[in-house]
Amino acid sequence: MIRIRRALPQDAPGMGLVHVAAWRSSYAGILPDDYLLAMSALREAASYERGISARGQGHAAFVAVVGAEDAPAGARMPPHGLVVGFSTGGRCRRPQLADGEIETLYIGDDWRDQGLGRRLLRAQAAYLRAMHCHSVLVWVLADNPSRWFYERMGARPVAHERIRVGGQDVTQQAMLWERVDNLLAATAGTAW
């Protein structure tokens, strides 16, 4: 069974692995290959561990974890479960656009299309509503083929900007849920 729970500092190595794998598969052909190959799961894990431990500024991370019974054969099982996806979020870094922000949502390739994205979004939305956030946004690269997922969940594009990633200019788009309750409604029926 896949569980969604609040992230622990011990989850950071798994989060780092999922982050790098998700970027390499999602952004192949969008971002430079040498940049994607140079990504470090250890470096990402250290960043997530700091964030989880600090829990500052209203930020929270949620993980999707599997137990030994659902893990792939031969997978090294951490005692707290194998991280197969995660999300992070908190108060919006640009409060003129929204109250809350989903900063990351990554699912391991082998675990996609199982409802984990919805479940993680629901966990973040419930957390943000508890933080008195009324609107929520997520930034997504405009060329990311998974952008449609947020549209299906009811988000609409409200802003875009050019940013530099891996030495390349790319466009990112802000997708907004004007009411956090709309996001909760879109993810209803997905227990976490």
Q: Which residues contact 122 (CB under 8 A, 6 or more apart)?
A: 4, 183, 184, 187, 188, 190, 192
pLDDT in tens, 25-51: 999 999 999 999 999 999 999 999 998
Q: Are the C-beta atoms of 59 and 51 separated by less than 8 Å?
A: yes
For residue 192, the model assigns a pLDDT of: 46
pLDDT in tens, 92-138: 999 999 999 999 999 999 989 889 999 999 999 999 999 999 999 99
Please state the length of the chain. 192
Domain map (residue ranges) of the chain:
2-186
The C-alpha atoms of residue 76 and residue 71 are separated, in whole angstroms, by: 9
Superfamily name and number for 2-186: Gcn5-related N-acetyltransferase (GNAT) (3.40.630.30)
For residue 35, the model assigns a pLDDT of: 97
pTM of the model: 0.91
Q: Which residues contact 140 (CB under 8 A, 6 or more apart)?
A: 146, 147, 150, 172, 173, 175
